Structure 1
């Protein structure tokens, strides 16, 4: 059975909240930092860009790959970021040099090919919120 997990970026506090701390309900995101039902929760308005879903792939170390992660592959040292492609209706790895650019023109690597010969399994390097330096380093090279 596929795991369904979400995480959320709290831009105000510059913190990533993990799936055991996040509740998405009625188009709002609620955070429960103590991870207990009796603790206080707080929330903010839903923003599609701040909620990230776990996709079914795991990286070499067994770490789950989420939407908006920055990844590379063991046999292909190019760097990508993970996004949901509305047209294809699937998560894809998109060349990092296209971050904040016209994604329609960006080369996209379907999850179908992840782990195959020539590409290899994904390796999570970070994500676009907690590790923006990975975007700058790769875009400028």
Structure 2
């Protein structure tokens, strides 16, 4: 079984998506520096090589209940059958000794318990939906406990 590896990009330090340009219009060359900085280079209309710093979010290999790809940095809404719900960001938890994409505990309300990964549970049950992302819609995140 293979998993599709995809990323989406953002111009560093902004909420602006990295431009999606047809391959016949421009060619971008991506490189990752030793410190982890991602750069995208291309020729501009004047013939100059331009480099832009880009931040990337990785596709986590799962889709929400509407078939939308879920990426690191997305904000998802988890809604139970009884309509109880909460909202949280998709985060890579490696810094917490938990190498998986999941929703950080601080976004999970008191009383909600999960025996497995929250995102995997929600996708398997068809009750998780992408409602935005942390760069364009930070206002969607409210910590409730």
TMscore range, shorter length: 0.5 to 0.7
SS of the residue 1:30 aligns to: strand
CA contact (8 A) 1:6 1:18 kept: no
Structure-2 change in CA distance of 1:5 and 1:22 (3 Å)? farther
SS of the residue 2:123 aligns to: coil
TM-score, normalised by the number of residues in structure 1: 0.64
**Aligned counterparts of 2:19 and 2:127: Cα–Cα separation in 1:** 23
Query: Relative to total residues, which structure has the larger strand share, 1 or 2?
Result: 1
Per the alignment, residue 7 of structure 1 pairs with 8
SS of the residue 1:3 aligns to: coil
CA contact (8 A) 2:4 2:61 kept: yes
CA RMSD, Structure 1 to Structure 2 (Å): 3.6
Tell me the alpha carbon deviations over residues 92-126 of structure 1, each in whole angstroms, 9 at most, x when there is no partner: 1225648xxxxxxxx88614323344xx3320010
For the pair shown, the structure with the greater C-alpha radius of gyration is 2
Unaligned runs of 5+ in 1: 99-106
Unaligned runs of 5+ in 2: 22-27
How many pairs are equivalent? 122
Per the alignment, residue 78 of structure 1 pairs with 86
SS of the residue 2:143 aligns to: helix
